[in-house]
Chain A
Amino acid sequence: MTNDLVHATAAELAAKIHSGEVSSVEVTQAHLDRIAETDGKVHAFLHVDTEGALAQARRVDEDVKAGKAVSPLAGVPLALKDVMTTEGVPTTVGSKILEGWLPPYDATVTRKLKEAGVVILGKTNMDEFAMGSSTENSAYGPTHNPWDLDRIPGGSGGGSSAALAALQAPLAIGTDTGGSIRQPGAVTGTVGVKPTYGGVSRYGLVAFSSSLDQAGPCARTVLDAALLHEVIAGYDEMDSTSINAPVPPVVAAAREGLSGDLSGLRIGVVTQFSGEGYQQGVLRSFEAAVSQLKELGAEIADVSCPSFDHALPAYYLIAPSECSSNLARFDAMRYGLRVGDDGTRSTEEVMSLTREAGFGPEVKRRIMIGTYALSSGYYDAYYGSAQKVRTLITQDFAKAFEKFDVLISPTTPTTAFKIGERADDPMAMYKADLCTIPANLAGTPAMSVPSGLSDEDGLPVGLQIMAPALQDHRMYRVAAAYEAARGAFGGPSL
């Protein structure tokens, strides 16, 4: 029974809970037990909120018993990335600088989850301040990929995706600044969606790069991701960059896609994302996906987006620039760590000592790169030029979407690499985000859906689907159709 509950999809669990076949408390306890059994190996969670989760589950069970209407995911457990504030529950962002901090308020995403009756199991591990592609930059130790514990689960949201793959939760929340939802999804064999920029509120999402940061749903199936997407999306007056437009009909699109018919749909294959640096098994998996999409009736052709070759350099100027500004708020005065305040030191000295002690190496590197790129004399050459590349990338997307309904590529150039393999080489690490970054720069939606396992190493591969802004439902339709055609590809044994 317990085993069945952790294998079930969120949609299946919701149906069982709402019909009274099983209680949310049973479902929640089964997942808490699974976490207790497996997280010693995986380390997906930084904090498990047993009490809070069971209390929420009991509330949902009471509502179901009383015959009250409950929302579609009420009673279903979820793993929340530790970048979202949770009132009274630790929120570290994977950093020592916020160790022990108990936020006085909920992020909008947290609030919406609670209001929808979703059961938050706890907070998941991540690269410090979401800066990284492996979760190795967490100040609390790395997360291990359930498919191979010696390998990375991707990053920055490696904890959320690993929790899904390890059957610790059927749903998770991630945030995606340059690929932090999609790349972990790809390397753990799970679904990860970056909605249109502004589609989900950033209020209470600890900021890294504000013009790129976007929260989104993670799940093991496309329909589950869609159900979660509709819970967290929507305009929020607390986020002035939130889009005041109706939420794209992603659940309906996912259900429509399950019919398996993509007749007449035009799909562009981005030619920039193949060739040197791409693992053969990844490319073969991608080609197989292309064939299956053709069988479903899609019309597929190549499309060139030349500026995408410059997305990675532009990103590694824009994101650090915004981060150097955003992380100035960690000043040791209002919350978080304070180091060296012995009564003799000035505020500035305490600030510098605290930031030195509280931030890890990758965060320091990015703050300094950003400080450099924004400094007078270098601004035009670096930050200014990167912003122009951003314009070119947006134009390339616009041109491609004149001819195609969606674009596709592999989500990542390689399958999961070994823990430690790229830790001392920042540029090698950054290349894990090669295919995912353009959608962040353009603000367009993109998702990763598993395309099975690489034939050379047996590790999961992701298919990336990209759509125009506010057309998130298009990619859900394609992903659901593809998922049904692809079929099951097994799971990790833990």
Chain B
Amino acid sequence: MPSISRDEVAHLAKLARLAVTEDELDLFAGQLDVILQSVASVGDIATADIPPTSHAVPLTNVFREDVVRPSLGQQQALSGAPEAEDGRFRVPRILGEEA
């Protein structure tokens, strides 16, 4: 069924926040096409009357009492941060040309 173009792969990469290279676009376009063709058969047997299963175990919301418990301290939470400043995560600019 599917035939996925190089442009579509570039769009997917953008959505997935992957700055893929030109070479990768060629490689992935071919591979994603093969993979998607191989898995498209699920559509052949999945008829409208079959309910979907999202999870093997029937789940309901799990609640607990709203009580304070020990958790990671600020220093621990920041311990793996690429950059931290004044007890906070330091991030690159989030506003700019796009805004």
Contacts and interface: CB of A to CB of B under 8 A. Distances in A.
Interface residues of B, number: 57
A346 interface: yes
Q: How large is the interface on A (under 10, 10 to 19, 20 to 34, 35 or more residues)?
A: 35 or more
B3 to A, nearest CB: 13
B82 A390 contact: no
A72 interface: no
Contacts of A443: 55-57
B54 A347 contact: no
B38 A388 contact: no
Contacts of A352: 14, 17-19
B18 A346 contact: no
B51 A101 contact: no
A240 B55 CA distance: 13
A104 B79 contact: yes
Nearest to A306: B45
Contacts of A394: 53, 56
A465 B97 CA distance: 58
A365 B30 CA distance: 11
Contact of B38 (A313, A328, A391, A469): A313
Nearest to A239: B62
Contacts of A279: none
Given A104-B76, A316-B39, A426-B31, A371 B81 contact: no
B45 A392 contact: yes
Interface of A: 101-105, 197-198, 211, 237, 240-241, 243, 307, 310, 312-314, 316-317, 324, 328, 331-338, 341, 343, 345-353, 355-356, 359, 361, 364-365, 367-369, 371-372, 375, 381-382, 384-392, 394, 426-427, 441-444, 469
Given A317-B42, A333-B89, A347-B94, A372 B56 contact: no
A105 B77 CA distance: 10
Given A347-B91, A355-B19, A365 B79 contact: no
Given A313-B39, A394-B53, A333 B19 contact: no
19 contacts: A104-B76, A105-B72, A237-B64, A316-B39, A317-B42, A333-B89, A333-B91, A334-B89, A335-B81, A337-B82, A346-B94, A347-B94, A352-B19, A364-B20, A371-B16, A372-B12, A387-B53, A388-B53, A392-B50
B80 A390 contact: no
Given A335-B80, A341-B92, A316 B35 contact: yes
B85 interface: no
A320 to B, nearest CB: 9
A381 B43 contact: yes
Interface string B12-31: 11111111110010011001
A384 B97 CA distance: 37
A240 B77 CA distance: 22
B97 to A, nearest CB: 7
Given A369-B35, A427-B35, A356 B20 contact: yes
Contact of A197 (B27, B39, B56): B56
Contact of A350 (B14, B62, B77, B92): B92
A340 to B, nearest CB: 9
B68 interface: no
B43 to A, nearest CB: 5
A117 B93 CA distance: 47
B94 to A, nearest CB: 5
A83 B85 CA distance: 29
A384 B57 CA distance: 18
Nearest to B98: A346
B19 to A, nearest CB: 4
Instruction: List the 9 closest pairs (A to B, CB-CB), nearest first.
Output: A443-B56, A335-B80, A387-B52, A338-B82, A385-B46, A388-B46, A313-B39, A352-B19, A104-B76
A364 B24 contact: yes
A379 B90 CA distance: 36
